[in-house]
Structure 1
Amino acid sequence: MAKTNPFQFMQQVRAETAKVSWPNRREVVVTTIMVLIMATLTAVFFFLVDLLIRTGLVTTLGFFN
């Protein structure tokens, strides 16, 4: 593989960066809000599953006391 000098490397980096489709402010805000909502829903779901499993275990183990 051929080595490139630092100047050529920086030119290639700039060329590739120019090809990137950067999101606008609205897209970033909407995506961030969606991620926060999904993380909250996931946390609530796992909390409820944990509560259900814990209640089931306490009830089941309570029969053996």
Structure 2
Amino acid sequence: MKPRFNDDATMDAIMRGWPATNRVILQLGMLCVGCPIASFHTISDAAHEHGLREELLRSELQAAIDRKDAN
């Protein structure tokens, strides 16, 4: 499964491009929604900042995108 976002995508761009990802971000306890730093943080940055495994965050974001596209 190929991600629809690239490694340089910011959290802000991901949330705006695929609003279904907002739920994942909130469920993981991340504070990206409404955060002014989200326009600078990549997935890698956000995972590190929130103490999450980057692979987990990527897979959860991709799953949210895929679920939304399946509907």
> TM-score, with normalisation over the residues of structure 2?
0.26
> TM-score, with normalisation over the residues of structure 1?
0.28
Greater length-normalized contact order (CA 8 Å, ≥ 6 residues apart): 2
Which structure would you say has the larger Rg? 1
* Structure with greater helix percent: 1
